[in-house]
Amino acid sequence: MATILLVEDNEMNRDMLSRRLLRNGFEVLLAVDGQQGVDLASARRPDIILMDMSLPVLDGWEATRRVKANPATAAIPVIALTAHAMEQDRAAALAAGCDDFDTKPVELPRLMGKIRALLGEAG
């Protein structure tokens, strides 16, 4: 089954989303800040990354940039997750190299659609 790296500093958000992803049959890796996310991405090569944008240590935009700058991880699709549909966030996320964008709170069917689309493309 596909492995998802969830980079999220908020404990409740991390817990909720990871449980629902597990329930949907994914393997889930967790990172609590941007630096951990970048490190885990290169160490474990997940199939897809769900990246919160406001993260400590290294924020989501910078973490994405680093993932995309590393040839070993550049091909991993990244979906940016931010609060409220702020269009500037979306633009900034896409500019940082994210492949797609979704807003929190997560609508699971919609997010699953995006994940499957990217995994299909990647696979």
Per CB under 8 A, residues contacting other proteins are 10, 12-13, 16-17, 19-20, 23, 53-54, 56-59, 61-62, 83-92, 94-96, 104-106, 108
Nearest distance from C-beta of residue 72 to other proteins, angstroms: 21
For other proteins, the closer of residues 44 and 70 by Cβ is 70
We find the least distance from the C-beta atom of residue 12 to other proteins, in angstroms, to be: 4
Minimum distance from residue 93 beta carbon to other proteins (Å): 9
Torsion, Cα 114 40 36 2, to 10 degrees, reads 30
CB-CB contact of 51 with 63 (8 Å)? yes
Quote the longest CA-to-CA distance of the chain.
34
What letter represents residue 58's amino acid?
A: L
Nearer to other proteins among residue 75 and residue 113 (C-beta): 113
CB of 18 to other proteins, least distance (A): 11
Look at phi and psi of residue 64 and say left if phi exceeds 0, alpha if psi is from -120 to 50, else beta. Answer: alpha
**What's phi and psi for 102, nearest 5 deg?**
-145, 160
